[in-house]
Structure 1
Amino acid sequence: MATSATPPSSVLIIGAGPGGLCLALSLSLLPQHIPCTVYDLHPSTPSIGGAVALTPSSLRILDRLGVYERIKHRGFQYRALRFATSKGGTIGDCIFGTEQYPALRISRTILLQALHDVAAEQGIHVQWGKKALSLQETEEHATVTFEDGTSATGDMVVGFDGVHSRVRAHVVRSALSAKSTSNPDAYAAQFAGLAGVQFLTPLPLIRFPPPPGHAEGTPPPLPMLILAQEGSFLLFPSDPEGQEVACFSVWNTEVDLGREGWERWGREEAVRWVRELHKGWPEPVKSALESLDPSQVHVWPAYSVPPLPAWHSPRVIIAGDAAHAFSPKGGQGAGQALEDAALLSRSLFLVSPQYPLAQALRVWEARRRERVKFVLDWASRADRGRREGKSGWVQQKIKEYVLWAVFALKGEGATRALIGYDTELVDLGA
């Protein structure tokens, strides 16, 4: 039986997404194996649409788990994101990849399947159709009760159950138990005031003007973020050859339409809206919109989690989007979940009489809060020019000049701390 002075002997993981599976694999590969079981509300491995962008800080983790070799040639590899003006000018390149680990945009389904395959090979068991309903904990154990009436008990419970987490409510209530005036409902997920609109189009249907000094037919520098007074337009491949391009725009709105409302808006209004917003934009946006297939339009409303009083109680932890949800425009959600998991496995392994569980969890949370704050601040700065409403001509030129100055003066240093983070080098004080 585990105590507060020894690593846990059993861990229950709620959520079989990238973060939950990364934690399970990390625990299974420790020198002192920590058994775990993964529970997920879906009936089987989900086929989830969309793609994720992974930088070296995430790919390094997947490499250590034996996953990277399986996926690195199944997505679109790139070194930089090109920032451009709507008139065809280049602002600069934001570096997101290295020679060892080029950044990778890959289908979420492909990533999940690779993680599930490696987990199965390690003997990690996923129980499907298990939606967490409530939790209870003692000094030594935590118990999860599921909606189907069953329950499970382990030394620890870790919730990687997403932005609408059920595990979060337990952790928040535990943290607020001595504050009778606080309302746990205030820490539920909140609509972030925006929705991402995406459509897919074949690369040959998009006309890219050749860069100055280059011949017609020069391959376009993708991915590319085009900035204009009216907003932004992102072109981002996710297939290995870069022949299928996802085009993104963002609708800023204070109204959460709800699940059915968003589905209806996506069917009936999204195409008209995106065409109207970018009406009159030159190439490559013009031809991308001309090739828009309404059946390929998808809408993702964004939800955020307010700053929480705690990410853990004595035997229950939340991580990933359950603890800190990122705007989809920041593109850091999956990566931060992987980092949470990798550092948590290190923390649990180090538990000893000299480094008890309470201290290990406290240090883990502190280190991850520091990192998440840095990434959130970085993403907010990078995002500011896209989130704001229509700019005046002078405002737009100032934005473009500031970005140009950052890229020109800092170069790779602009993202070094973002992509160079290594969970194995984080000082846990043990």
Structure 2
Amino acid sequence: MTKQFQAEIAGGGICALTTAAALAQRGWKVRVHERNSEIREAGAGIYIWGNGLRVLEAVGAREEALRNANRGMASELRDCDNNVIPRVPVQGEGAVEVFALPRQQLLQALLHAALTAGVEVVTGSEAVGATPDGRLLLRDGSSLAADVVVGADGVHSRVRDSLGLASQFELLSEGAIRVMVPRLPQDGDGRFVEHWNGTRRILVTPCSPDQVYIALTCLHNDTAAARVPVDKALWTASFPHLASLIDRIGASARWDRFSMVKLKRWSQDHVAVTGDAAHAMPPNLGQGGGTAMQNGLSLAHELGAVASREDIPQALARWEERERELTEHTQLWSMLYGVLTSWPDELRTAAMGFASSHPWLSAQRLRTARSHPTGASPLATEGAA
């Protein structure tokens, strides 16, 4: 009889649930540990590009995740005078498929896929560390033995830190307030628009028939702009043409400072670290979630092929070797985009126009979105192969 391998996963977010569903679909026994009393996602909306859509298809969550989501019809950048900066289209020749949707809707679709595959989800269970031999340490003092422990417990990962794997943890100069507001008929045709003015910007993204996702981004030391509840008068002064949207922002909001995480290595013996715990990045390419999902699926794909527990450390090393270069490419280009924040408006507008029309630069920005995630083929095909 073939041994059924056991995985203990720290974290109950997008990456954790993707990894859990994909592992369980490959015959693993999987348990997810979420520290909160329920599975919920902080934040408001999220972009899912082509790579993430292929992951959703692979784990059987695409239809539920995209129900009533807004498929990108056009994407615009606008300067401080509300003039459109030319940009590569999200539809037509050379375009990449992209949807915007509520983060909680994505999370629920992945949770449903995981539960359907047989994953056990335990709430109120907080991981505080792991041991290299595959033991998950919990806050209540207990520990759980596994063939693999997966640390998908976010930017401030206790699993990662317990093993000393971080080589870079940097709080960046920018952050954002992310909120949802009611969508009204005058909000336009559903295009994604990023408005810039000085070091402030507002991303406006319809993500369902009745909701618009808004991200108000500024420097962390711009204390007035970073304040919550949102200073509507201040933001309206910077973006008067968005007064109607800004006025709809409610009192419930949260400021999050962007961060960058890199590791010495993504695994140690029988412990793997992935998602924001391993490769957090600023959200400038809309690929934080997509990259996490992609690497979670790839991890499951690699582990699904192991024949014995002794094979697992080598499988984890192969996983990192395959995925790390693209992940760090995504981090780099997301960081480069953020550099423009400090540029004068006229210079930034010229640079954005040039970058959007330059084939090589556009290809670098969209490389991850166009990639084919490892393990994204249907499971039936993989099994037959």
TM superposition score category, shorter chain reference: 0.7 to 0.9
Q: Does 1:388 align with 2:342?
A: yes
1:214 equivalent in structure 2: none
Q: Does 1:68 align with 2:49?
A: no
1:40 equivalent in structure 2: 34
Letter in 2 for 1:163: V
Q: Does 1:157 align with 2:136?
A: no
Q: How does 1:36-185 map to 2 (within 5 A)?
A: 36-46=30-40, 48-95=42-89, 102-138=97-133, 142-172=134-164
Per-residue CA deviations over 1:22-41 (Å, capped at 9, x if unaligned) read: 111111222xx122211111
1:421 equivalent in structure 2: 371
Per-residue CA deviations over 1:154-203 (Å, capped at 9, x if unaligned) read: 1111110000101001332xx6xxxxxxxx7x75x543232202444444
Q: Distance in 1 between matches of 2:40 and 2:202?
A: 29
1:234 equivalent in structure 2: 203
Q: Distance in 2 between matches of 1:223 and 1:255?
A: 25
* TM-score, structure 2 as length reference: 0.84
Letter in 2 for 1:107: P
1:26 equivalent in structure 2: 22
Conservation of the 8 A alpha-carbon contact between 1:304 and 1:327: yes
Out of 220, 230, 246, which is 2:213 matched to? 246
2:380 equivalent in structure 1: none
Q: Does 1:299 align with 2:255?
A: yes
1:171/1:330 Cα in 2 relative to 1: closer, same or farther (>3 Å)? Answer: farther
Q: Distance in 2 between matches of 1:12 and 1:199?
A: 33
1:325 equivalent in structure 2: 280
Conservation of the 8 A alpha-carbon contact between 1:206 and 1:288: no
Conservation of the 8 A alpha-carbon contact between 2:181 and 2:248: yes
Sequence identity of aligned pairs in percent?
A: 21
Conservation of the 8 A alpha-carbon contact between 1:27 and 1:34: yes
Moved more, 104-113 or 56-65: 104-113
Per-residue CA deviations over 1:191-249 (Å, capped at 9, x if unaligned) read: 32322024444443867xxxxxxxxxxx446111123445432211121x2x4323322
1:193 equivalent in structure 2: 173
Query: Structure 1: 5+ residue runs without aligned partners?
Result: 176-183, 208-218, 257-261
* TM-score, structure 1 as length reference: 0.76
Letter in 1 for 2:153: D
1:215 equivalent in structure 2: none
Name the Cα RMSD after superposition: 3.3
Conservation of the 8 A alpha-carbon contact between 1:95 and 1:412: no
Shift of 1:415: 4.9
Secondary structure class of the residue paired with 1:343 = helix
2:379 equivalent in structure 1: none
Letter in 1 for 2:268: S
1:399 equivalent in structure 2: 351
Conservation of the 8 A alpha-carbon contact between 1:190 and 1:303: yes
1:213 equivalent in structure 2: none
1:360 equivalent in structure 2: 315
Conservation of the 8 A alpha-carbon contact between 1:42 and 1:128: yes
Shift of 1:316: 0.8
Q: Does 1:377 align with 2:332?
A: yes
Larger radius of gyration: 1
Shift of 1:125: 0.6
Per-residue CA deviations over 1:104-127 (Å, capped at 9, x if unaligned) read: 212121111122122222221111
Letter in 2 for 1:288: L
1:18/1:404 Cα in 2 relative to 1: closer, same or farther (>3 Å)? Answer: closer
Shift of 1:281: 4.1
Conservation of the 8 A alpha-carbon contact between 2:200 and 2:219: no
1:98/1:411 Cα in 2 relative to 1: closer, same or farther (>3 Å)? Answer: farther
Q: Distance in 2 between matches of 1:196 and 1:372?
A: 22
1:279 equivalent in structure 2: 237
Q: Distance in 1 between matches of 2:127 and 2:349?
A: 50
Q: Distance in 1 between matches of 2:268 and 2:315?
A: 12
Secondary structure class of the residue paired with 1:266 = coil
Shift of 1:376: 1.3
Q: Distance in 2 between matches of 1:146 and 1:200?
A: 34
Shift of 1:277: 5.4
Conservation of the 8 A alpha-carbon contact between 1:19 and 1:334: yes
Conservation of the 8 A alpha-carbon contact between 1:12 and 1:38: yes
Letter in 1 for 2:373: T
Conservation of the 8 A alpha-carbon contact between 1:11 and 1:37: yes
Per-residue CA deviations over 1:60-79 (Å, capped at 9, x if unaligned) read: 11111110011212322214
User: How many residues are aligned here?
Assistant: 373
Conservation of the 8 A alpha-carbon contact between 1:347 and 1:361: yes
Q: Distance in 1 between matches of 2:80 and 2:221?
A: 27
Shift of 1:57: 0.2
